[in-house]
Amino acid sequence: MKLLEVKHINKTFDNKDVLKDINFDITGGRIIGLLGKNGAGKTTLIKLINDLLTPTSGEILVKGKKVGVETKKVISYLPERTYLNKQMKVSEVIELFKDFYEDFDEEKAKKLLIDLDLDINERLTKMSKGMQEKVQLVLVMSRKADLYILDEPLGGVDPATRDYILDTILSNFNEKASVIISTHLISDIERILDEVIFIDKGKIVLQSDADKLRNKEKTSIDEIFRRMFKC
Amino acid sequence: MLNKLLKYDLKYMIKNMMVFYVLSIFFAFTTRLLFNMEQSTMINIIGQISVGCMFSMVISTLINTIMRSWVRFRNSLYKDESYLTHTLPVTKNNIYNSKFIQTLIFFIIGFAIVIISLFIAYYSKENWQAITRYIKTITTGLNMSTTFFVTMFLIIVFLEVFNAIQCGFLGIILGHQRNNNKLGYSVTIGFIVYIIAQTIILGLVYVYGLFDPTVMELFETGNINIEVTAFKTLAVLSSALYIVIIYIMSIICKSALNKGVNIE
């Protein structure tokens, strides 16, 4: 069964077409890189899947259901910004996730917090932006979701932590789940990708299995991306 | 899920409002204490400062209840926190209902804090008798019982302010459907919605007046010396109309939210 179906999605802002006739499917057990330059439409597409934007036309189905309460139960989403109420302590945010998401694993969250050297009793307002992003990643990866959508998960963290985050992503989702990672730091995530979707000017310009693409072009995804989007 | 959303909305509000409640009651106590002490120039000056602080806290309590309800609504639904709100597995109706109930609860608490503060600061047998005598004069003139008058007065004030808060909510929802200057549109639309709501209520009272000459007198004579029975009718009628308008507006808000959001 298809995990995610995006059918003829168009999104217009102020008469400007931000996404144009986007079509793709995702099945379970894959790690997909949603790759594109800044302003290509990656975040818009992700926000549409997460009900943060309303499509101008087209349809998005998650496990056969339209975006709504049921799809939010199975999607674990990490936005590209810090979005938690900064007055809250980390422990309170964990409590919130436990309250709302049946698939949230509190013990896993606590373990990941310790690994990342984060204090569960600290208020978010006292944490740096990078630390807050780590807390958000912990929360998202502590869910046993079917689809993880990570928008720029590596953007605000130091290179040393990036490897840990990628290992965390790899080791913390179940085999039937899929992960969509949107980033322009392609070389960092290349090693974990099963599939790539290149998006440019609101259109999908390439969708391929990562290994097949590497073999066909005889170079890395990062290099293919650089060639394709050379300014 | 509504109870869970409400739990976090109430927690947020109590964290932000507690300081006003505590200070309001604290200055009410100091006011009472200072004016019960043997008076001297210094005590009198401190007493006046305490009165000023108490009233500023009482006013802040009411204003902050309204402003923070709007700010919380906007932040939760359209600012960074909306990334969490809209990705929680809850319906848009529940999100709205939670904000609605939270505002209702904190407006009642704010109202209670004001009354308690004034009671602590100024209650005495003489003051109580003076207030009841004053109210009695009004109610005798209007041919109403004191209980009915006070109850209707509180209900109408409450519904009026609550209606204004909800006009703000609708303004925020409709203002954020725009792509630019969302805050400006929110304030303008909220104000327009408020004017429209008031006009509808007044229009319906006028329509009722076509069948009740005592109420119609209000529109025809231009003076307030109308039949006393009209006040009773007006009080009950306007309360009922406010409730209907608030209900209809909440349906419009939920319907607009259910059409989808566009978060920046």
For B119-159, give the DSSP string: HHHH--HHHHHHHHHHHHHHHHHHT--HHHHHHHHHHHHHH
Mean pLDDT of the B228-251 span: 86
Q: Which structural domains are found in chain A, ordered by start? A: 4-228 (3.40.50.300)
Q: What residues in B contact A58, CB-CB < 8 Å? A: none
- pLDDT at A221 exceeding the cut of 90: no
Q: What residues in A contact B263, CB-CB < 8 Å? A: 47, 52-53
The structure tokens listed for A131 are 């630390």
Q: Which amino acid would we find at residue A55?
A: P
Q: Which of A68, A67, A148, A52 is nearest to A103 (CA)?
A: A148
DSSP secondary structure letter of residue A184: S
* Residue B40: strand, helix, or coil: coil
The pLDDT mean for chain A works out to 87
Q: Which of A209, A173, A175, A177 is nearest to A193 (CA)?
A: A209
> Which of A10, A53, A66 best probes binding to B when mutated, by most B CB atoms within 10 angstroms?
A53
Edge-to-edge order in the sheet of strand A57-62: A16-26, A4-13, A57-62, A65-66
Beta bridge partners of residue A33, listed in sequence order: A181, A196
Beta carbons of B257 and B92 less than 8 angstroms apart: yes
Q: Which helix (H) or strand (E) segment is A206 a member of?
A: strand A203-209
> Distance from A39 to chain B by nearest Cα, in Å?
13
- pLDDT at A22 exceeding the cut of 70: yes
Q: What is the ipTM of this complex?
A: 0.89
Sign of the dihedral defined by the CA atoms of residues B200, B206, B207, B212, in that order? positive
Indicate the pLDDT class of residue B187, thresholds 50, 70 and 90: very high
Mean pLDDT of the B223-248 span: 80
Q: Which of A35, A105, A37, A34 is nearest to A76 (CA)?
A: A105
Could you say which of B84, B89, B263 has the minimum Cβ distance to residue A73?
Answer: B89
CA distance A84 to A76: 15
The structure tokens listed for A14 are 């102020």
Q: Which of B122, B134, B117, B153 is nearest to B231 (CA)?
A: B153
Phi, psi (degrees; rounded to nearest 5) at A156: -100, 10
pTM of the model: 0.87
- pLDDT at B94 exceeding the cut of 90: yes
Selected residues 3-62 of chain B with any CB under 8 Å from a CB in chain A: 4, 7-8, 12, 15
B4 with A13: Cβ contact below 8 A: no
Q: What residues in B contact A73, CB-CB < 8 Å? A: 89
Tell me which of B226 and B17 has the higher pLDDT.
B17
Tens-place pLDDT, residues A162-190: 777 778 777 766 778 899 999 877 888 88
